[in-house]
Structure 1
Amino acid sequence: MVAVTKKMFSLLMLMLLENFIHAQYSDAEVFKQMNPSTKKNAAVDNLKRDLLSSKEDTSKALQLLNISNIYMWSFPDSALVYALKGLRLSEKLHFTRGSIKAYHSMGEALAIKEAYPKALEVEFKALHLSQDLNDQLQISLTLFWIGIIYLHSENPQQALDYLHRLAPDSELYLKNKELILAHLGFCYFGLNKLDSALFYMEKSCDLEIRENNGWCLPFIWRGQIEDKSGRYDNALKYYRMGISIAAAKRDLFQAYNSLALTFIKLNLRDSSVFYLKKTIDGAQNEPFFSEIITASKLLVDIYTSLHMIDSAFKYQELTLKVSDSLFNQEKINRTQNLSFIDQLRQQQEANNEQQFQSKIRIIILVTTLLVFLIIGTILWRNNMQKQEANILLQQQKLKVETTLQQLESTQAQLIQTEKEKLFAQHIKEVHELEAKALRAQMNPHFIFNCMNSIKALIQKNEQEKSILYLTTFSKLIRTVFQNSDKREISLYDEMETCRLYAQLESMRFNNKFSYAFNIDKTLDLKSIMVPALIVQPYIENAIWHGIMPKENGGMVMVTVDRTDGTIRCTIDDDGIGREMSKQNKFLTKDSTHESKGVYLTQARLHLDNLLNERNARVTIIDKKDEHDQFCGTTVILCFDEY
């Protein structure tokens, strides 16, 4: 059955010689396009002549594909060449429907050459493009061809799954009903489900009798079903009906061989020998090697059973001779298939490389524009904040000086007391404005550190990391913007900002260091207010000056707990320690990363204590190991709980 199945597929390919040539047929009218035309040679000559003067447009792409389909049966290698040219031109013009048709042509030609895996690969590419276009007709055509290829690559169950996906009310199904029903029946025949096979094949035969399309395969396939079911008289009947309308020699010889097999089962050896010899005599002048081999093997068996050794030996020699010819032909086909597959692979690699480069350029351009936009926005915003803070500071200083001058003009005790109260009030306002100015200086310092990290990733061409870093950075910037005008924020918001910062730095340095946040679950962090961005600079200092100089990285642990009515925030690292860090700075004279954050933070804590009469404090502990060597730093920030 395997050999017969492959040959049936060859017939189907033969009948598709002029696919897409005649304008009167739509893409859906596959069955009408299957009828071979006697004018095909003249048609291909005209098309090849027109190609010489054609522009590089979609019309030329379709001409190339039309030539490919004309060559499909007689010269499948030429068909592949023209199909590949049509594919390249279609992709160059972004002509998606042309690419789909090119993949169809390549799939059919590869299937004729029995390169079934590659044929399926290109048909699945056609299916993907058809689905992208939401072109239902092209989707149906592709499902049909995938089913046919699966059928003739000896996978009838897969073929059945794809053919059953064709909607019975679709244009393709209605215009090719005889064709589809016959192949559904042949799928069930391959699965040895003879009742279902006969059901569909009867319908296909009835349509052929009624419409007289001149297609012999439904009768031949039905004959095979009847033969396998043991109804030999019916098998002979349908074989003869197929022979009577067979237009292609290959079909005729296959029908003769099938007829001979049935005669053997009926013990009518003379009739069997008659048809087998007709096959050999007719096929010897044509390259129908498989049909000759099948007939020769059957004749060897018959003559051997009749003890006619000379005749058996004669056909045994013929079998070996034709088998060698078939082997050589298959070897040539495999070599040609590999050459074409390599060309197709190179074409796909070139397309993939072009798409990848385009994608990279777009990502880099968008990322660069976004970075510059963010930088510009941040600089403008901070400049405005600085200007506003400086104006207010100057105004308040002027008011204080004026008030002092007025207070100095009076000697009265009452006026002196009022002067002191007023002076204290304005001093408090000055401290508050100075604190706001310090926050305005804090933001650009922190932001520029992050922007340097993103810049480094982009320069290394690490697009995915830079996009992830930028996404996390944008979350952090939003948080910083929300808190930039606030004197105080909740400890919960402060911890979230610190988490984002630690995540960004860990990503930048490829997880050279680890970090963890250990927060007492009994604390309501949202109700505890602290100065904005008061913890982050110490985490930054631990990473940059403690962990990063270490060869093997290290660990930063942030702990928040309550002790005797005091909220403690501890930043502990196992870095090189402050003394070693100072020595490194002195030796390397590295000024590229000046840690201004800690200095500014201590100044802000001092001002916060003055403004709010609080007792916030910082304790820094230099850790040492058992050998009295520095092994890290612990920073403890304490806030009184109110």
Structure 2
Amino acid sequence: MILALIKPKIWCLLLLILLIHPSQMVVGQTISRDVFLNDSISQQIKLAKSDTTMMYGLLKSIRRHRRSLKKYYKPLLVIYVGLSKDVGYRYGEMKSLDILGLQERYDENYDKSISLHNESLQIALQLKDSSQLCYNYNNLGQAYRKQDLNELAIKYFYLALEMYEHKGMTRQASYTHNTLGATYFAQDEYDKSAYHLNVSLNLAIDNKDKRTMSYNYGSLGEIMLKQNKGDEALAYFKKALKIKEELNYDKGMAVTYHLMGEAWFMKKNYPVSILWFQKAIKIHEKYNTQRYLSHCYAFLGKISLAKNELNNSTKYLDKADQCAENVHSIENLILIGDAKVELLGKQNRWEKAMQIMANTNSLRDSIRMARYQKEIQTLEIGYQTEQKEQQIEILSAENQIKNQRLRLGIAIIVILVLGLAFAYSVIVSRKRTTKLKEEKLQQQLLKSQMNPHFIFNALASIQNYMYRNDPKKAARFMGNFASLARSILNNSSADYISLEEEINTLQNYLELEQMRGNGSFSYSLNYDDDLETEFIQIPPMLLQPFIENAIKHGVKDMDSGGLIELNILDKEDLLYVEVEDNGVGIKSSENRKNNGHVSMATSIFKQRISILKSNYPNLPEPEMIDLSNEGGRGTLVKVYLPILNE
């Protein structure tokens, strides 16, 4: 009875406070975090009912805590889907069905996954939600690809790609082109694969997406291997390796190592090939990646065989065989089998060679049979899908005829009801609309102050750079600035942009300032791999003032060795951002303010944060720490932002 009297918004606040703690005490016993989260969110779902604001927040909370919820994550999503259907919350039903479909795919329940994505797709079509349609098409493609139903996967990838390109979502388009390239590669259609990989590569270069660039370089190198072009393959692998080393991505480096070993094997440079395979094995052993270890040992066995070192070849091929059997890697077993047949032939063990050849050919036949079965399954599913679409069209036509008979009578009733409802809603919503307009106008006003201020500073930097450098470098600087200005102008009319867009803009700004300072400082931009940067929304240009201050008041006057670090971390339902420099520190900067620079951007940031806190009152205040007081050097700024998922 008491719980029912507590307002829903207060319940949400209490839930967020409780979720901060990893465990809670109940009757003198500690319950685990996943149990507590499940109980808390389940209680909120019961209270939410038809309150769409609470329902929207609850779905975000379930999604954000998926790792902590463990086994309770999927059941909570099922409950949420059911409640959304019961109360008619179509948006929540659409989103939760798609998210549940993702989880079923991760659990390898592909039929369930496809069914859920299709349900979400139908609602997205009704709501005309083009962004959700992109996700549905892409997720359906991934579910079919996981089952090697490549023709169906390609169909949905193209549907997603068409919408991404129409909406100007270049980063997502880059991912989809990359996936299409990988899918065509699996079908041995190398020309189509290379086309999509090159398109993805160009988009990734434009977006400064180094991880996707490395994937594309590596995949293009693999195509060259398949076409027996060792030199071209090595050129691509070197580019991929350089980026992976910059990203310190050791798993990816190991894959590139063994691919380079394969390319040198193709060129018959066995000593260099061995070195690359040995480097790969060290990392593959670290992560116990049996499939890749099998591949490396198989090639070491082939190298020993080519050098007529038969004992070494036997040792390596046996190790490769064991690793391949552990993970049932048919491709590696075929590779090993062919090498063993050649080895046994050199040893004049013809009976054993014939036995292994028969087993290897049987494996090849199983791959061909599996491919034929997949092709038949693809045709069957495609036919069933087409039949369903035709049935839907027929039913739609019949319903349209029936509805026309009812429309006239319903229209009269609706007009009367709408007239009364309109008059009532105008009175009730006038105050709320006025308040929202005031807040939105205030945000737009602040942004209109910030963007010209930022552009003014950047233009001043260009002017200084042109005075101090040659025209070619100045032109390059101007090109980078044009790209940055374009992103600022695109974002200036938006209340929120994705964290991914904000990161790209900040990286571009830092590169411009780094060029202007002739490399007197370096920077690093780090964020959690688990952060879904394309979905998280924040106000545009909110972090730039702190980076500007780190440059202007921190490392600007350093001849060399300056460093600016930007770290973005996931802290429960908040985004935690650190901006750190190794400059002179706050006190020294304040004491030597002889350049007359006053950061208007910082003042505007404070005003914007105050507006943000009106909607998120529990948002912690930003902190600015002088590291020289703690025996260090420079300044550390800590900022917390609310996480808003699309």
Q: TM-score, normalised by structure 1?
A: 0.44
Q: TM-score, normalised by structure 2?
A: 0.44
| Structure exhibiting the larger radius of gyration computed from Cα positions | 1
